């Protein structure tokens, strides 16, 4: 993903937070979904399915696996909102189904459009749920050790994200 795409994604996430007057964690992702006119549906799905998104007659529908941990559901919603904000044309043509997330694919370069979309939606989700300015305020200039499991887990709880999502984000931003 080039620098331009990255900053476009960041701007889109930040403008949603600003529009909703959200300035601290945890980010109320369901409220943002509603503000975007998205219809959230929680249903029990197979474990490997995280969620899905499509636009039907102009209304975005976001499906979430109701059996997953609430923090994972929040990431799923944020990821699907990323598709909605970034890939609306693609998800209007057909239902987009997410099987897990390639969270740890940071070194994987793929020419395949689908994977590019997933990486973009994941970045959007991270920018929405764990904005850099929020994290900088949380860390308050203190040195942070990414290998400190306790510290990562405390931040993850505060942001209502999984510890692995938080570790990945902190690694991307500050390591
Ligand atoms: Zn996806």
Per-residue confidence at 105, pLDDT binned at 50, 70, 90? very low
* Ligand 1 centroid distance, CA of 143 (Å): 34
Report cis status (omega within 30 of 0) of the bond before 67. no
The CA-to-CA distance between both ends of the chain, in Å, stands at 19
Reported as a single tens digit per residue, the pLDDT across 61-99 is 999 999 999 999 999 999 999 999 999 999 998 999 998
Per-residue pLDDT, 123: 95
Mean pLDDT, the chain, whole residue set: 90
**Residue 129, burial from CB neighbour count under 10 angstroms (0-12, 13-18, 19+):** buried
* Ligand 1 centroid distance, CA of 9 (Å): 15
Reported as a single tens digit per residue, the pLDDT across 123-161 is 999 999 999 999 999 999 888 888 999 999 999 999 999
Distance CA 53, CA 81 (A): 8
* Ligand 1 centroid distance, CA of 98 (Å): 5
Q: Percent of the chain scored above 70 by pLDDT?
A: 91
* Ligand 1 centroid distance, CA of 20 (Å): 24
Per-residue confidence at 25, pLDDT binned at 50, 70, 90? very high
Residue 23 confidence (pLDDT) above 80: yes
Q: Percent of the chain scored above 90 by pLDDT?
A: 79
* Ligand 1 centroid distance, CA of 145 (Å): 30
* Ligand 1 centroid distance, CA of 153 (Å): 25
Query: What residues does each domain of the chain span?
Result: 3-131
| β strands within 31-173, DSSP E | 39-43, 49-56, 59-65, 96-99
Per-residue confidence at 52, pLDDT binned at 50, 70, 90? very high
Nearest by Cα to 75 from 98, 93, 54, 58: 98
* Ligand 1 centroid distance, CA of 64 (Å): 12
Per-residue confidence at 114, pLDDT binned at 50, 70, 90? low
* Fold of the 3-131 domain: Arc Repressor Mutant, subunit A (1.10.10)
Distance CA 16, CA 12 (A): 6
* Ligand 1 centroid distance, CA of 33 (Å): 16
Paired tokens of 60: 């975005």
Q: What integer is the mean pLDDT of 104-126?
A: 70
Tell me the pairing of strands 39-43 and 59-65: parallel
Per-residue pLDDT, 109: 46
* Ligand 1 centroid distance, CA of 142 (Å): 34
Per-residue pLDDT, 113: 52
* Ligand 1 centroid distance, CA of 141 (Å): 34
User: Residues with Cβ < 8 Å from 171, sequence gap 6 or more?
Assistant: 146
Distance CA 27, CA 22 (A): 7
Cβ contacts of 5-8, under 8 Å, gap ≥ 24: 5/120, 6/123
User: Residues with Cβ < 8 Å from 104, sequence gap 6 or more?
Assistant: 168
* Ligand 1 centroid distance, CA of 62 (Å): 11
């Amino acid at each position: 993903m080039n620098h331009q795409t990255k900053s476009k994604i960041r701007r889109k996430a930040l403008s949603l937070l600003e529009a909703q007057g959200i300035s601290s964690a945890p980010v109320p992702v369901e409220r943002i979904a509603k503000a975007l006119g998205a219809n959230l549906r929680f249903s029990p799905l197979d474990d490997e399915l995280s969620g899905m998104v499509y636009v039907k007659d102009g209304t975005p529908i976001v499906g979430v696996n109701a059996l997953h941990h609430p923090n994972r559901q929040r990431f799923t919603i944020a990821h699907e909102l990323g598709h909605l904000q970034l890939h609306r044309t693609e998800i209007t043509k057909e239902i987009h189904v997410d099987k897990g997330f390639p969270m740890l694919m940071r070194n994987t370069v793929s020419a395949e459009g689908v994977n590019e979309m997933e990486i973009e939606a994941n970045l959007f989700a991270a920018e929405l749920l764990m904005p850099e300015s929020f994290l900088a305020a949380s860390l308050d200039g203190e040195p942070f050790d990414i290998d400190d499991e306790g510290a990562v887990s405390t931040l993850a709880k505060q942001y209502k994200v999984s510890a692995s999502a938080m570790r990945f984000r902190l690694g991307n931003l500050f390591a």
